[in-house]
Homo-oligomer: A and B are copies of this chain.
Amino acid sequence: MSVQKPSIPKGTRDFSPPEMVRRNYIFDTIRSVFGKYGYLPIETPAMENLSTLLGKYGDEGDKLLFKILNSGDFLAPLKSIDHSSSSPDTREVAPLISEKGLRYDLTVPFARFVVQHQNDLVFPFKRFQIQPVWRADRPQKGRYREFFQCDVDVIGSNSMTCEVELLQIIHEVFSRLGISVRILINNRKILAGLAEAIGEPDKFIDITTAIDKLDKTDIGQVNRELAEKGLKPASIEALQPILLSSGSIEEKLTLLNRFFTNSETGKKGMEEINIVYGYLKDLHFPCPVDLDLKLARGLNYYTGTIIEVKAADVSIGSICGGGRYDDLTGIFGLKGMSGVGVSFGADRIYDVMTELQAFPSSLGTPAKVLFLNFGQKEEKESLLLLARVRKEGIAAELYPDPVKLKKQMEYANKRNIPFVAMIGNEELATGKITLKNMITGVQETISRDDLIKHITE
């Protein structure tokens, strides 16, 4: 076989030990907070049937699904296609040769899971799920084709205490990770109410899609898009105070009150927002939660509260987001299951923590001591002592080969191992051990029984 230059598919990543240690710190923190709030872990397969995935993420999403070629003679079904026609259509051929796809997010598999296992679950069902997802997006800085999502959802309750619990989780996760955040909330019923109030109820989706872009573009562009979507000039005009809204929550609610005299949906949205703020006040919630009337969140399954979190000190887009959905499981046959959840973006959180230098410096020192290797005779004594050290639960290593000591020392240095233990010819004779502190450079000969005390104190 010829030699291959090793590479991985574009948009994917290898994680080396230093990255893994930091990523696991993020995952462990998130997992531990989820657990404290009573959420339980689940996992779903990487592959789902395409019938589960298709049509759930819009046309654009369908295109971004990674499809898996059927096994065996995958071409057999194609033989019914008329090959004399100039070029077979990709959309026609794909379903014939591929029935499975890689999961695109954790939400649709979660909905599928809940319906499939509904008789075994206890509702309200509080679950979390930390797994990779795959999207055939054009790779670019900070956007990968394989990335991890950390989802937490409660399904089977209409109570706004669920929203509040998620806000508490968000606050606790980011506090523990050392990231200052801005939490933004809104309610899709408020957005629907606005569409109603300006006399364009049918344009709800167009309006939210346009508003969603206010973050990245200017108001002129958004207004042009609204006009292109067929909104009347008067409707666009009426929407301006909302698009330009700033100021306190009270001011925004006053503004909405004026709008919603004729919109029941809008009033309901305000009522829900007020309930959430009521809880936050009762709880002396320790972090500002801004009402952002321009917050829309693209996904159309949201029906109530929507939530988005941005890092206060790093400009990187949202690092967590989600909302309430009233009928996510409906498509799989389970109606009337309201739920709410948020997803933490592990990759962006990693980037934020790197920029803020927020990772604890103690991460990534697995071995406390390296025993140097002086050859067969000495090695035996080292192995016995090494076993005693490990028995105490202390991570430790023996350099496997009796190579030059300089090389062994370098290994300890590069691996950030703080102590090096030496049993050479002399220590073999005296029954002692020489211990070098790799940080201070201090070296001393001690009793072997004292080793554990020295490396742990």
Residues of A within 8 A of B (CB): 1, 3-9, 12-17, 20-21, 24, 35-49, 51-52, 55, 63-64, 66-69, 71, 73-75, 79, 83-84, 87-88, 90, 93-94, 97-100, 102, 112-113, 115-117, 120-122, 124, 126-127, 132, 134, 136, 145-146, 154, 157-159, 161-162, 164-165, 168, 279, 282-283, 330-333, 366-367, 373, 379-380, 383-384, 387, 390, 393-401, 411, 414-415
A-B pairs, 6 with minimum CB distance: A12-B45, A17-B40, A159-B400, A38-B397, A83-B83, A71-B136
B395 touches A1 (CB 8 A): no
CA distance A94 to B74 in the complex (A): 9
A49-B1 contact, Cβ under 8 Å, with A66-B71, A383-B282: no
Say whether, besides A74-B90, A100-B9, A4 and B44 are in contact (CB < 8 Å): no
Separation in Å of the A50 CB from the closest CB of chain B?
A: 10
Measured between beta carbons, the chain B residues less than 8 angstroms from A121 are 16
B36-A394 in contact (CB<8A): yes
Say whether A400 contacts B154, CB under 8 Å. Answer: yes
B16, A332: Cβ atoms under 8 Å?
Answer: no
B40 touches A20 (CB 8 A): yes
Q: A8-B112, A69-B94 are in contact. List 19 more A-B contacts (CB 8 A).
A: A9-B49, A14-B42, A14-B43, A16-B42, A20-B41, A20-B43, A45-B146, A64-B71, A66-B71, A68-B69, A68-B102, A69-B97, A71-B136, A122-B414, A122-B415, A124-B400, A124-B401, A159-B373, A165-B400
Residues on the B chain within 8 Å of A94, using CB: 69, 74
CA distance A283 to B66 in the complex (A): 51
Could you write out 30 A-B pairs with CB less than 8 Å apart? A3-B330, A5-B332, A8-B49, A9-B47, A9-B100, A14-B45, A14-B113, A15-B43, A21-B40, A21-B41, A35-B395, A37-B390, A38-B397, A39-B366, A47-B134, A66-B68, A66-B71, A69-B69, A69-B98, A74-B90, A75-B88, A75-B90, A124-B399, A124-B411, A158-B401, A159-B400, A164-B383, A165-B400, A279-B383, A283-B383
SS of A interface (majority)? mixed
A5, B118: Cα distance in complex, Å = 12
Specify the chain B residue showing the minimal Cβ separation from A163.
Answer: B400
Which residues of B sit under 8 angstroms from A83, Cβ to Cβ? 83-84
Verify B68–A87 contact, CB threshold 8 A. Answer: no
Q: Out of B64, B69, B331, B401, which one reaches A3, CB within 8 Å?
A: B331
The residue that A48 contacts in the complex, of B9, B79, B414, with Cβ under 8 A, is: B9
The closest CB in chain B to the CB of A56 belongs to B1
Is B393's CB under 8 angstroms from A36's CB?
yes
B residues less than 8 Å from A55 (CB atoms)? 1
Asked if B47 and A146 make an inter-chain contact with CB atoms under 8 angstroms apart, the answer reads yes
Inter-chain contacts of A415 with B (CB < 8 A): 38, 122
Q: Which of B75, B93, B116 contacts A14 (CB 8 A)?
A: B116
CB-nearest residue of chain B relative to A82? B83
For the complex formed, measure the closest distance between the CB of A143 and the CB atoms of chain B, giving whole angstroms. 15
Taking CB atoms, residues of chain B closer than 8 Å to A17 are 40-42, 127
